[in-house]
Amino acid sequence: MEQEKEIVSKNFIEQIIDKDLEEGHYTTVHTRFPPEPNGYLHIGHAKSILLNYGLAKKYNGKFNLRFDDTNPTKEKTEFVESIIADVKWLGADWEDRLFFASNYFDQMYEAAVKLIKKGKAYVCDLSAEEIREYRGTLTEPGKESPYRNRSVEENLTLFENMKNGMYEDGSKVLRAKIDMASPNINMRDPVIYRVARMSHHNTGDKWCIYPMYDFAHPIEDAIEGVTHSICTLEFEDHRPLYDWVVRELEYEHPPKQIEFAKLYLTNVVTGKRYIKRLVEEGIVDGWDDPRLVSIAALRRRGFTPESIQKFVDLCGISKSNSSVDYAMLEYCIREDLKLKRPRMMAVLDPVKLIIDNYPEDQIEYLDVEMNLENPELGMRKVPFGRELYIDREDFMENPPKKYFRLFPGNEVRLMGAYFVKCVSFEKDENGNVTEIHCTYDPETKCGTGFTGRKVKGTIHWVAAKTAIKAEVRLYENIIDEEKGVYNEDGSLNLNPNSLTVLKDCLLEPEFAKAQPYDSFQFVRQGYFCVDAKDSKPEALVFNRIVSLKSSFKLPK
């Protein structure tokens, strides 16, 4: 029974791997994550990273981080560095196996020569447009290039000349000689090398020919000894070409490509090109703007590697594309922080509360649990005095029914402290409440076991004298994919409320110790994280990671 259960819970990739090991196709498992350094990584990449790393770990195998940097146009060192930082942060450990595909350019060149010598590749002079025309369509077979039957000798010379810079960009390409009548268009003599004078971030100006992805990728995998080359569904139609390359190049233990569905999230954009546009147009504060779902942004917002691992686990691995509810990601971070992080008091929209019968200059230090549900986090001292601040929405002059917070004549508990009863309040000329006056009952102190009477509401507060000021940023999604990414004029359809900045928030003094990336529950308000970019010890800035409430239910 136990064993059966285990088999059932394996995803389809694990089932393939099990079979491969059982049948002796491979003796070990070796995976890789192969990002192209042309942008920052996002939540979708996190899924791929954790999947590949997780499989290597599970099967006691190896995991490589390899930059797929064979197309210099959009690649930058900034992206290489950010990707390394993100993969490390997620906890995927490549040990000493960090590779760059561009370091294999010599081997790729040799591989191309090998194909030419086998009569499996030829230099073609057709223009890009002609190649497209000759390729045919889904319903019509392609036409053979007039250069297809060049001799091996001629091809070797021409290809060497390509490498030596004797031809204009785009004037000649090397093509695999496969089958112009194949029902799979990818197999109709695909281009495998092109002439392009571009400086490469790693190899500089050494090369003026560059390999195409479909040729380069299987070679990269084979060179590194990768066994299972896991990629996303759009490459399914390319698999026959992948297999052709590793077969014709006669690798002893050819890698195997397996595809799974990309991760999409509702209400947000994940595609690199959307995020890039938001960054380049200056709409967001860089690739790590907390409204984005790049890994850098999630980290800055306050997500933890554990929460992302949990999210990816809940998503599972599938063969059909679908979108996951953004609320599930929020659920995962709440679950992760719930017991781990302190719950302290912060007032986001302060209004003064004065306790008329409390001694003028007295400060009292109350002992309060860091986290009621986790005693291991210990206690803290919270100063209490005659003048406090509470959140504006916790007082109403004319409350509706079932409002249990503060209103004239009503008594509530100040969290961790005393009962207070509202006796009066003051307003300014605009009708805004400026001061609320209460009296307190010394008998009702928290922790003394008072049972004399009950109140229906408990509100949070901070003492005026010791409060620290902070800026708090509240976020909503910046683009809602379901509502449409673009406006009619091609501009981005942005949510005008994606960022709310609260400048005058007041926190209890314990927050003074907060460091960048530290996160907390602000009681009754949500989870917040110290902004690593803008927060300073004397001017704290917090990001709201997520509010406390959700309608999200974990699928059974």
Binding site for ligand ATP (CB under 6 A): 34-36, 44-45, 47-48, 231-232, 262-263, 270-272
In the bound state with ligand ATP, the residue whose beta carbon lies nearer, of 21 and 261, is 261
Query: Among Mg ion, ligand ATP, none, what does residue 190 contact (CB within 5–8 Å per kind)?
Result: none
Query: Among ligand ATP, Mg ion, none, what does residue 310 contact (CB within 5–8 Å per kind)?
Result: none
Angle, helix 12-22 to helix 43-58, in steps of 10 degrees: 30
Q: How far is the CB of 46 from ligand ATP (least distance, A)?
A: 8
Query: Among Mg ion, ligand ATP, none, what does residue 241 contact (CB within 5–8 Å per kind)?
Result: none
Give the binding-site size for Mg ion (rule: CB under 5 A). Answer: 1
- Residue 545 contacts residue 526 (beta carbons within 8 Å): yes
Q: How far is the CB of 269 from ligand ATP (least distance, A)?
A: 9
Site map (CB under 5 A) of Mg ion, residues 27-66, x = contact = ---------x------------------------------
Residue found by looking up tokens 């090397």 in the block: 174
Query: Among Mg ion, ligand ATP, none, what does residue 136 contact (CB within 5–8 Å per kind)?
Result: none
Residue in the shown chain whose Cβ atom is closest to ligand ATP:
44
- In this structure, the number of other CB atoms found within 10 A of the CB of residue 415 comes to 17
d(CA 524, CA 344): 9
In the bound state with ligand ATP, the residue whose beta carbon lies nearer, of 75 and 391, is 75
d(CA 526, CA 149): 69
Q: How far is the CB of 78 from ligand ATP (least distance, A)?
A: 15
In the bound state with ligand ATP, the residue whose beta carbon lies nearer, of 36 and 471, is 36
Kindly report the length of the chain.
556
Amino acid at 179: D
Nearest to 344 by CA among 483, 245, 463: 463
Q: How far is the CB of 263 from ligand ATP (least distance, A)?
A: 4
Query: Among Mg ion, ligand ATP, none, what does residue 232 contact (CB within 5–8 Å per kind)?
Result: ligand ATP
In the bound state with ligand ATP, the residue whose beta carbon lies nearer, of 263 and 462, is 263
Q: 440 forms bridges with which residues in the sheet? A: 420
In the bound state with ligand ATP, the residue whose beta carbon lies nearer, of 47 and 163, is 47
- Residue 43 contacts residue 82 (beta carbons within 8 Å): no
Query: Among Mg ion, ligand ATP, none, what does residue 45 contact (CB within 5–8 Å per kind)?
Result: ligand ATP
d(CA 216, CA 192): 8
Nearest to 115 by CA among 174, 71, 45, 51: 174
Q: How far is the CB of 34 from ligand ATP (least distance, A)?
A: 6
In the bound state with ligand ATP, the residue whose beta carbon lies nearer, of 46 and 344, is 46
Query: Among Mg ion, ligand ATP, none, what does residue 271 contact (CB within 5–8 Å per kind)?
Result: ligand ATP
Query: Among ligand ATP, Mg ion, none, what does residue 72 contact (CB within 5–8 Å per kind)?
Result: none
Q: How far is the CB of 87 from ligand ATP (least distance, A)?
A: 11
In the bound state with ligand ATP, the residue whose beta carbon lies nearer, of 136 and 271, is 271
At 54, give phi and psi (nearest 5°). -60, -40
Residues 6 or more apart whose CB falls under 8 angstroms from that of 467 comprise: 347, 389, 506, 507, 508, 509
In the bound state with Mg ion, the residue whose beta carbon lies nearer, of 36 and 306, is 36
What are the structure tokens assigned to 545, written together? 């990671």
Footprint (CB under 5 A) of Mg ion, residues 191-210: none
Burial (0-12, 13-18, 19+ Cβ within 10 Å), 436: buried
d(CA 287, CA 267): 18
Q: How far is the CB of 500 from Mg ion (least distance, A)?
A: 34
What are the structure tokens assigned to 387, written together? 């003048």
Give the C-alpha distances (Å, rounded to integers) separating 530 from 254, 351, 501, 517, 536. 48, 24, 14, 5, 9
Q: How far is the CB of 217 from Mg ion (least distance, A)?
A: 11
Query: Among Mg ion, ligand ATP, none, what does residue 144 contact (CB within 5–8 Å per kind)?
Result: none
Q: How far is the CB of 140 from ligand ATP (least distance, A)?
A: 30
Q: 7: part of which helix (H) or strand (E)?
A: helix 2-8
Q: How far is the CB of 75 from Mg ion (least distance, A)?
A: 11
Amino acid at 418: Y
DSSP E strands: which ranges in 191-316? 191-195, 209-211, 228-232, 256-260, 263-265
What are the structure tokens assigned to 534, written together? 């803008």
In the bound state with ligand ATP, the residue whose beta carbon lies nearer, of 47 and 300, is 47
Degrees, nearest 5: CA angle 540-546-550:
155
In the bound state with ligand ATP, the residue whose beta carbon lies nearer, of 74 and 381, is 74
Give the interface with Mg ion as residue ranges (CB under 5 A).
36
